[in-house]
Amino acid sequence: MPTALRVMRDRGTYLSIAIALILLAVVPQLGLRARTDSSWLLYLAGRILDGDRLYVDVVEANPPLIVWLNLVPAYVARVLGMPAALVYAILVYLLALLSVAVCHALLRRLLGRELELRRYLTLLILFCLFPLIGPDYGEREHLMLAAVLPYVLLTLLRAEGGTPSRWPALAIGVVAGIGFALKPYFLLAWLGLEAWLWLTTGGRGPKGRPESVAVVVVGLLYAVAVARLAPEYLALAPLVGRAYYDYLRNSVGVTALLGEGSLVPVAAMVGFVALRHVAIHRSLWGVLLTGTACFYLAAVLQHKGWNYHYYPAVASAVLLAGLMALDLRRPLVSLVHRLYASVTVAAVVSLTLVVAAGCVHQARDPRDPRYEPDPDLPKLIPLVRERGAGASIMVLSWSSSSAFPLVPSTGTSSALRFLCLWILAGLYRDEVRGSAPIRYRSIEEMGVLERYLNQSVVEDLERRRPRLLLVLTPGPDRPKWGLRRLDYLAYFGQNPEFVRGFQRYRYVQPVGQYWMFERIPDAAPPEQPRIGPRAPVGAAASAAGEPKAGAEPEVLLTILVFAIAIALAWRKEESAAAAAFRREPAS
């Protein structure tokens, strides 16, 4: 038995590792700022509790389920007088703990007396739901994985001929149904699991399983709820869908191979192909492979390549690789099997150490600029809090991190109905990537969506009358600057209504990559608007826009740790194979 499994026999060691994994995840978050998406969704929920209409007064590109779910922490925070971000974090971690507990109970049914493997897999699940997610905790991918992992193991139990009780199976299905409904792409995982079960059982599996029926019913109820409670989304989705698809879109090849974390599931799937013949629990390997492949495909189809998009695939791949590292029929005779087993062990050990080191560093220095959603947040927060606390501000930027968590961190509200100007970034995707200077379409040339965006910004500026206006400074109009080429004042300056509203603002100062403007008293004469020629960009903006050269220290450290781990693992596999060879009787 591998050493990693033998140490699982001691209950004290097992519980100590579990507690350490939880602390590695929770403690660093105590000092970090709320992330962009979670702070925005909590803000939306608060606006809805105040009477604003979703998709009218405040506009979110995604379906309403995630906003509805955020109504719970937003309301509880108001009742208890606690920060909404803290309540949200508590609820997210409680969901993750509940998921781990249910998975542990299912593993007890699946693995019977294999105490060591059962505890080892429980710790792997705990690692994936806590430290591995890092500062992206609470993203829809995180919530989905916590909700769906019990369903994955329940599907395996069905394939093994198990007969779980109806009500627990129904509850697992309801929670999983909510998880699958958070994004349309997540339905690929449900379809993949159902297909895997059908293939594994030869179509002879139980019909009308409560958990599967629950997923379907939850999906249907959700569709009805959207039609009845959020009909505005059905009108908005076709309008903004293409622009959101184009927003920061990459090709399939780039997303699949160069996305943040994409190589982890690819490597795990390759390892499965190489080692599947020496697997002990083949069905467990198979269901984890299915989850990894489906989550990977879901991330690729989103065409963004963002880290948290790949999180479910990476987490599932870690579970698969962690299982492959120890669940082998040893000694391994084949050179190929020994090589892949060594690589798998080294990869799991390296990833664990690097993630743990990252969590420790976050806990020690939570204000490290690399952990800030926007590097200028430390400069912006005190100025915005001083000049705009209790009032509204408007941020003109393509980046979602420009306004959030700035708004909740300063006690202000957002005058803009959108998270950011992602629609503009999507509409001018081709122009931004082209070599010619960007030419903005006139109001007469604009399509329906662009005219809607342009008019909405003007209406928000006039209706909300924000005290502060923050504008992301434009970079040089060259392709390598990407979306930083967009000049918001030049773009909106084509609209006479925007010009009239902007005349009520006075330029204050540059703050990092932003221009700050402050509203003047109503009785004051209009200011000369700062619209027209591209203003020079400061050193901070230039540094942020230019591509960086050289390898990151974390990458070099990861390579070093992996090299050491693979050398040790290979030596151990070779020693075990040599010992087995010496024990064979001579012919």
* Strands ordered across the beta sheet of 392-396: 413-414, 392-396, 468-472, 514-519, 505-511
pTM of the model as a whole: 0.90
Backbone angles phi, psi at 403, to 5 degrees: -100, -25
Whole-angstrom Cα distance, residue 463 to residue 459? Answer: 6
Tokens 């409670």 appear where? 229
| Distance separating alpha carbons of residues 306 and 312, to the nearest angstrom | 12
Report how far residue 331's alpha carbon sits from residue 583's, in angstroms, rounded to the nearest whole number: 11
Q: If you count them, how many residues does the chain have?
A: 587
Residue 352 is classified by DSSP as H
Output the six-digit token pair for 570.
């290979």
Strand-strand pairing, 392-396 and 468-472: parallel
- pLDDT by residue for the chain (587 residues), tens only, comes to 677 788 899 999 999 999 999 999 999 888 888 889 999 999 999 999 999 999 999 999 999 999 999 999 999 999 999 999 999 999 999 999 999 999 999 999 999 889 999 999 999 999 999 999 988 999 999 999 999 999 999 999 999 999 899 999 999 999 999 999 999 999 999 999 999 999 999 988 788 899 999 999 999 999 999 999 999 999 999 999 888 888 888 899 999 999 999 999 999 999 999 999 999 999 999 999 999 999 999 999 999 999 999 999 999 999 999 999 999 998 888 888 988 888 898 889 999 999 999 899 888 888 777 788 999 999 999 999 999 989 999 999 999 999 999 999 999 999 999 999 999 999 999 999 999 999 999 999 999 999 999 999 999 999 999 999 999 999 999 999 999 999 999 999 999 999 999 999 999 999 999 999 999 998 888 877 554 344 444 333 333 333 343 445 555 556 666 667 666 665 666 566 556 555 555 44
Residue type, 534: R
Give the C-alpha separation, 115 to 212, whole Å: 29
DSSP 421: S
In the chain, the amino acid numbered 320 is L
Cα(64)–Cα(85) distance, rounded to whole angstroms?
Answer: 19
Omega into 64 within 30° of 0, i.e. cis? no
Instruction: Please report the DSSP string for 118-157 in residue order.
Output: HHHHHHHHHHHHTGGGGGGTTSHHHHHHHHHHHHHHHHHH
3 state DSSP class of 362? helix
